[in-house]
Amino acid sequence: MASLGALKRSMALTLILIFGMLFTLLVVISTLVQWYMEDNLFPFWFQMVFIVLLTLGFVLLQWAISPGIIRWSSRLRYLRSGENPFFENTVRELCQKSGVPMPALAVSPDRSPNAFVFGRSRKSATLAVHVGLLEQLNKDEIRGVLAHEIGHIKHNDMTIMTIVSVVPILAYMLARSVLFSGGRGRRDSGAALLVAALLGFAVYVVSQLMILKLSRQREFYADAFSAVATNDPHSLSSALAKITYGLSLSKEQPGAARSFYIGDPLSAKREIGSIMQNRSKYDLDGDGVLDEKELMLAMEEEAKRRRHSEVASTHPSTFRRIQMLKEMEKDLKHGGMGKEIYGRI
């Protein structure tokens, strides 16, 4: 049985592994520089201290500036107290119930249905919704989405994901720097520098895949948190179906907050595309349009019929998320969930 403790252990292990790979890469590169560069002026210990400080500097820079980038790219407008009573009261109620600090509330003018949280810590978090989400979902569905986002705050996902995202960037930059350094040293330095560059690219790829896996896992946990916080897994299932369909039609380009969204615009187009290929099967009334119930049926059937490759995705497929929520809904009806709120992951 999975638990919040399992999520914390997974996050800790991911942090240790990816930063361990990065540190190993830095040691290898520094060692090669020490051995092969004829004009090396600095001792090995100095290089190690420098690269550790450089890594910490990049992490702090990412942590410091990412909220501003997200605010700017998403064109957010922060709400005044009392401006949207339903939005504000729902978030306050869920936060009090969950023991989470009340986040700042904001709205993006984007017409695609989506929501996300970001910030440097739980206390400085912002919960933002797109105008399209407020227009296309009913109040129960919106409540399910808001609970999902509060789950991210409770799990401190936005801080963890912001920090770990630095590692692939650094690994890629180091690999390119070594590869195009020109081998300004001994004659036999070329092969060693090539190996170091390949190691850098390997760290880039592996760490990126690990971060994507962690990102998908945190979405499952936030879904499970929402199901229990609202005692209504069905509303979130319905919301996810509408969000995925709405995102598949949107012409808006995903912004800097893509990995923070409740739904990924890029995978939504692929998922709905597979449903449209079998439209006749799901269009029960033959009117040429998939209504809400038919769309939900399609999502559930697709979850049973196929498993999309998710290795390169920031989010699990909507099919799998709805399947998990359906199982949680059955547990709730039979009183089987108890205190174990993450038991279906």
User: Three-state SS for 129?
Assistant: strand
CA dihedral over 121, 7, 258, 142, signed as positive or negative:
negative
CA distance 312 to 79: 35
Q: What is the DSSP letter of 340?
A: -
- Determine how β-strand 77-78 pairs with β-strand 104-108: antiparallel
Phi and psi at residue 193, in whole multiples of 5°? -70, -35
CA distance 93 to 87: 10
Helices 85-98 and 139-155 meet at what angle, rounded to 10?
Answer: 40
- Give the CA dihedral 229, 110, 267, 62, nearest 10 degrees: -80
> Which of these is catalytic: 149, 219, 294, 302?
149
Residue 300's Cβ-count burial label (10 Å; 0-12, 13-18, 19+) is middle
Give alpha helix (H) positions in the chain: 4-36, 44-73, 85-98, 131-136, 139-155, 157-164, 166-179, 189-230, 233-249, 265-276, 279-282, 292-305, 318-333
Q: What does the buried/exposed string (b/e) look like for 15-26 if buried means 16 or more CB atoms within 10 Å of the residue's CB? A: beebbebbeebb
- Determine how β-strand 77-78 pairs with β-strand 126-130: unpaired
Given a contact cutoff of 8 angstroms between Cβ atoms, the answer to whether 103 and 119 are in contact is yes
Other Cβ atoms within 10 Å of 44 Cβ, number:
14
310 is catalytic: no
Point out the residues that are catalytic. Answer: 149
